[in-house]
Amino acid sequence: MFRNGRKTIGVFAENMSSEVQHRVCDGIIREATAKGYNVALFSSQGSYGQSQLFCVGDMEIFNLPPYAKLSGAILILDTMDQKENIQKVIRIVRSRAHCPIVSIRMTIPGVNTVLVDNSTCMETIIRHVIEEHKAKRICFMTGPADHFDAIERLGSFRSIMAEYDLPVEDWQTFYGDFWNGMGKPACDQFLGGPEKPDAILCANDTMAVTVASELISRGLRIPEDVIVTGYDGLDEALSFSPSITTAEAPFEEMGIESIRLIDEQQEDFSQPKIVSLKSKLCLRESCGCLKGHDARLTAIRRNQYETLQQGNHRSTVFSYMSTQLAEHSDMEGISDILSNYLQYFSNLRSFVICLNRDMDSERKLLHYTEEMDVRVAYLNWNMIPRANIPFHRDDLLPEGFTGPEPQVWYFLPLHFLDYCLGYEAFRFHDEHPAGITHFQFDVIVCNNIYKTLTYAKMQSMIQELRNSSLHDSLTGLHNRGAFTTYGGQIFEAAKELRQGVFIGVLDMDNLKLINDSYGHVEGDFALKCVATIISKCCNDSYVFARTGGDEYYLIARGITEEAGTKCLEAIEAELNSFNNSGKKPYEIHASSGSYHDVPSAEDTLDGFLKVADRFMYHNKLENKRRRGETQR
C-alpha cells in the first residue's frame, strides 16, 4: 500500500476532528512514523442530526480499505453515535483484516485493548470533593446507561459515597449522553431535588461544561454555590470560565501504546493484551483549588480565541465558495474553484478527490467502484489543473501521489445521503499535531458534486426528450415536426439568399398489402428499409424526414434540380437492388415527386410541398398502371 515498501496501519474512527480523536491520533501518528509505518486514517463524519440515509452513505468509508494489505488496525469507535455502526465496523475489520487489531477505550473480545483506569481517578476526584471541600450532597451526571465508561464511573461514585456513608437517592444521579444536549434537564433534576447540591460531578468534560454553563445562566456561582467537576482533561474544560476540575486522560499515550502493541505482534498476534493507563487529577477553578490562571490556561484561551476567529472567517469563506461552485455544472469547474480555497485548511500539503467511475450511469451507486478517478488533485502544494487520473480502488491513490518516507493520509467519505460519490484523501505538512477536517467544506463539496451529476442526467433527459420529439421512433429519421422546423429554416434562408430550393416527396407503394399479407413486423421492416436507403443516398445538404405512415419528405437549398433528381433516382435504384436480392418475398417500392424553384417572398414551404406532392401522386398512378396494380 502507498507503493513505498513500508507496512501500513489503518485507523478507524468517527469525527476525526474532535479533540479526543485528534489527540489519540497525534500519539498514533507520532509513534507509527517514528517506527517507519505508513498510517491510513479512515473516518466517518458522524450522524448527529442527520438522516438514516446520510448515515448509510457516511459508513461506506469503512468498506474502502484494502484490509488484506494492512499490517495493523486501530479502532477508536466509542464516540460513534449509533451502536449498530460500532458493531458493523468491528465485523468488517475482524473478518477482513489479518493483522494485529487494537481497540482504544472499548473492550472487544479477542483483540488488544487500551483502556483508561476510570475507577482510580474517578475515586480521586470524589474523595477530593468530599475531604477537601466538605461536600456532602453530591450529584452525579453519568453517560448512557449501557456505555462501559458510564457504568464504571457511576460505580465508582456509588462506591465512594457508600464508603463515606453519604446517601445517593434517585434524584442525585442523571443519565446523560456524553455530549452537550442534556445540561438543562440534568440541572432541572438536581436543583429540583429536596436539597440544593454541594457539588455536581460529571462523567466527562463536555457534560461538565454544559452543566456549568446552565448553572451560571440560572444565577449560581461556581464553586461558591455549587462545585462542578468533569473527566477527560479536554481543552474546552480548561478554557471554560471557571476552568473545570477534571481528570486528564492520557489520550496521546493511548495512541502510542496502540502502535507499540501492533509493532511487537507483527509475527504473532494470537495472544491479545489489555493495557490500562492512568489519568491525572487536574485541580482547577470549578472546585476552588486554582486561584487565577496558570500559563497553560492563558495559552489555551488565547488559542481558542484565535481558533474561533479563524472558524468564523472560514465559515464566511466557505459560504462564498458555495456560491461560486453553484455557478458550475461540471467537475472541471469545481476543481478550478476548489484550488482557490484549499489554503484555508491549516498546514495542508495534499488534497485529492477520488470519484467513482461511471457516476453518470443510470444506476444509483451505493458502494465504491473497483476503478476510481482522481478529479481534483492538489499534490505537495501544487495544483494539477483539471485532473482526470484513473486508478484501482485497492491502491487508494494513483501511482506518484506518495513518496518513500512514512505516509500519513486521511480518507473521508464523499456522499449525498446514501449515494456514494467517492472519497477525499489528504495529508498535512506537519503530521504532529494531526490534521483537522472541516465538515462544512465536505458537505459543500458533496452537494456540488451531486449537483453536477444531477445536471448531467437532466441534460441527458432533456436531450432524449428533444430527440424523441424531433425523431420518428421507428426509423430514427426526423419526424414531421422536425421537418417543419428545420425545413422551414432552410426555406426561409433560401428566400433571403435568393437560392433555389429542391423539394422531394416519396410515398411507399402497397404498404397495406405487405402488412396484410406478411404482418406489421414486415411492414415496419419495409418502412425502415426505405428510411435507410434515403439516409444513404442523401448527403449533408438535405434534411429528410418520415412525415406520415408511409410518406417521406426531403429538402435542400443551393443545389440544382438535376442534383435533386439524381438523389431521387439513386433512392429508386437502391430499392430495385434490394428487390433483386430476393431477401424478402415481397418488393418494396416508393413513388416520388419533386419541385425545384427559387422561392419568392410570398412563397411558403407548404406551397412547394403541395406541388411536389401532385407530381408524386401522378407518378404513383403511372407506377400502378405499369406494374398492373389496381389499388393503392
> What's the whole-number mean pLDDT along residues 464-491?
87
> What's the whole-number mean pLDDT along residues 189-196?
95
AA identity, residue 279:
S
pLDDT tens by residue, 3-61:
999 999 999 999 887 888 889 999 999 999 999 999 999 999 876 555 788 888 999 99
> What's the whole-number mean pLDDT along residues 271-290?
91
* pLDDT the model gives residue 5: 94
Give the three cell numbers for residue 43.
473516518
> What's the whole-number mean pLDDT along residues 515-519?
95
* pLDDT the model gives residue 143: 93
Nearest residue to 144 via CA among 176, 107, 180: 176
Nearest residue to 572 via CA among 623, 607, 628: 623
- Per-position DSSP letters for 392-453, written without gaps between them: EGGGSS-TTSS-SSPPEEEEEEEEETTEEEEEEEEEESS-SSPP---HHHHHHHHHHHHHHH
Weakest-pLDDT range from 114-128, 213-227, 429-443: 429-443
Under the banding of pLDDT at 50, 70 and 90, the label for residue 330 is confident
Weakest-pLDDT range from 18-27, 129-138, 185-194: 18-27
User: Is the pLDDT at 440 greater than 80, yes or no?
Assistant: no
Cα angle: 279, vertex 285, 289; to 5 degrees: 75
* pLDDT the model gives residue 335: 83
Under the banding of pLDDT at 50, 70 and 90, the label for residue 121 is confident
* pLDDT the model gives residue 33: 95
Give the three cell numbers for residue 345.
485548511
* pLDDT the model gives residue 433: 46
Return the percentage of the chain with pLDDT > 90, whole number: 66
> What's the whole-number mean pLDDT along residues 368-375?
94
* pLDDT the model gives residue 449: 81
DSSP 182: -
> What's the whole-number mean pLDDT along residues 461-482?
81
**Which secondary structure element, helix H or strand E, spans residue 172, and what is its range?**
none
Nearest residue to 298 via CA among 233, 241, 216: 241
Under the banding of pLDDT at 50, 70 and 90, the label for residue 434 is very low
> What's the whole-number mean pLDDT along residues 156-167?
95
* pLDDT the model gives residue 631: 45
Under the banding of pLDDT at 50, 70 and 90, the label for residue 319 is confident
Which residue reads 465512594 in cell numbers?
A: 160
* pLDDT the model gives residue 202: 97
* pLDDT the model gives residue 443: 82
Round to whole Å and give the CA distance between 193 and 184.
Answer: 14
More confident call, 330 vs 476: 476
AA identity, residue 275:
V
Domains of the chain: 8-99+298-456 (3.30.450), 116-251+269-292 (3.40.50.2300), 480-627 (3.30.70.270)
Cα distances from 320 to residues 315, 317, 441, 444, 570, in angstroms, run 9, 5, 11, 11, 62
Instruction: Find out whether the peptide bond into 242 is cis, omega within 30 degrees of 0.
Output: yes
User: Is the pLDDT at 436 greater than 80, yes or no?
Assistant: no
pLDDT tens by residue, 59-113:
999 999 999 999 999 999 987 878 889 999 999 999 999 999 999 999 999 999 9
User: Is the pLDDT at 467 greater than 70, yes or no?
Assistant: no
* pLDDT the model gives residue 186: 97
Give the three cell numbers for residue 174.
442523571
Instruction: Find out whether the peptide bond into 433 is cis, omega within 30 degrees of 0.
Output: yes
Give the three cell numbers for residue 458.
437532466
> What's the whole-number mean pLDDT along residues 459-465?
64
Round to whole Å and give the CA distance between 144 and 249.
Answer: 19
Under the banding of pLDDT at 50, 70 and 90, the label for residue 632 is very low
Cβ burial 179-195 (10 Å sphere, 16+ → b, else e):
beebbeebbebbbeeee
Q: Which of 277-286, 359-368, 526-535 has the highest mean pLDDT?
A: 526-535
pLDDT tens by residue, 283-313:
999 999 875 555 666 666 656 655 555 556 6
Taking the complete model, does pTM exceed 0.85, yes or no? no
* pLDDT the model gives residue 301: 60
> What's the whole-number mean pLDDT along residues 606-626?
93
Q: Which of 38-47, 342-351, 559-568 has the highest mean pLDDT?
A: 559-568
User: Is the pLDDT at 349 greater than 70, yes or no?
Assistant: yes
